[in-house]
Amino acid sequence: MDAPTPPLYIDRPEDVAVAARALAGGAIVAAGFANFYALVTRPDAATVRRVNRAKGRPVQQVGSITTVIGRIPGMFDWTRISPRLPVGRVRALMDALYGAGPFGFRGPAADRLPDHLTHVDQGVRTTQVIAPGLTCPSNALFDRALAETGSDHLYITSANRSRQVTGAAEEPAHWKAGGLAADFAHLDDLVLLAHRDEAAARAAYPGYLTTSVTLLSFHAPEGDLEEPPVLTVDRHGSLHLDDVRRAAVPLGLQVRLAGSARQRLQVRGYAEALV
């Protein structure tokens, strides 16, 4: 009988190197991401379509991107922001929220980003950037994978099967490696880069639920000209709306929930054997 393959850990540089090389070769990497897990791959259209099939999503569904913190501003076209929304304030809000933990922003997409990683909303071609926060060890994976792929961005998606396949009302992201591996056992090339200590990873983000990130859009600010610009939370996930507001208000920005975000994302539950 062959010896079991030793696990790969997100905080071990040699394991990160293995995962980054596999990603560049086309593999799907399930990586520890702040206090939960995410799927990360090359950003080409064929790979994104393959992940959509693996999750049970529509094949043509557009994807989100991730990158290292310093490259995030370059994912957006700042010339397309409304003149009533000061760029400096948005950048400062990004620094505050990405500096604290996992979060997502949606804004005007840089021209070089491909169509399968963008979405036109209210006449604006947008992209959404999901990042784990400044201190997460997954940043080392992104840095190494960008070097291996020669790109400045990667494709990222939640580590879950689509509810369109499972029939569940909601399929939250995985925050335990065992459950993730079971859900994606049908993938021969899945590389699991796990948290060494999942309890410690959760404890590192006490203000965040173990679910997909909250997503704030800034491409179409609302409100009267006399009032602070209003940005929209398109998805109410791991970070509570009140915490987003606490970061935004000192910068002269207001935040509201989109109608589709009034129900906060659930946290995945596990059978006793996985807890």
CATH superfamily of 8-274: DHBP synthase (3.90.870.10)
Q: What is the mean pLDDT of residues 122-127?
A: 96
* Euclidean distance between CA atoms 156 and 179, whole angstroms: 19
Separation of alpha carbons 272 and 181, rounded Å: 16
| CA–CA gap between residue 162 and residue 57 (Å, rounded) | 6
Span 5-56, pLDDT tens digits: 679 999 999 999 999 999 999 999 999 999 999 999 999 999 999 999 999 9
What DSSP string describes 229-246?
-EEEEEE--SB-HHHHHH
CB neighbourhood size of 52 (10 A): 19
Alpha helices in 150-254, H assignment, sequence order:
163-166, 177-183, 198-203, 241-248
Q: How many angstroms separate the most distant Cα atoms in the chain? A: 72
Has residue 4 got a pLDDT over 60?
no
- What distance in Å separates the CA atoms of residue 228 and residue 247, rounded to the nearest whole number? 14
Would you say residue 167 has pLDDT above 80? no
Q: Which of 96, 91, 45, 41 is CA-nearest to residue 66?
A: 41
**What is the pLDDT averaged over residues 138-161?**
97
Range 116-123 average pLDDT:
96
pTM here is: 0.95
52's enclosing H/E stretch is helix 45-55
Digit-coded pLDDT (tens) for 190-217: 999 999 999 999 999 999 999 999 999 9
Confidence of residue 219 (pLDDT cuts 50, 70, 90): very high
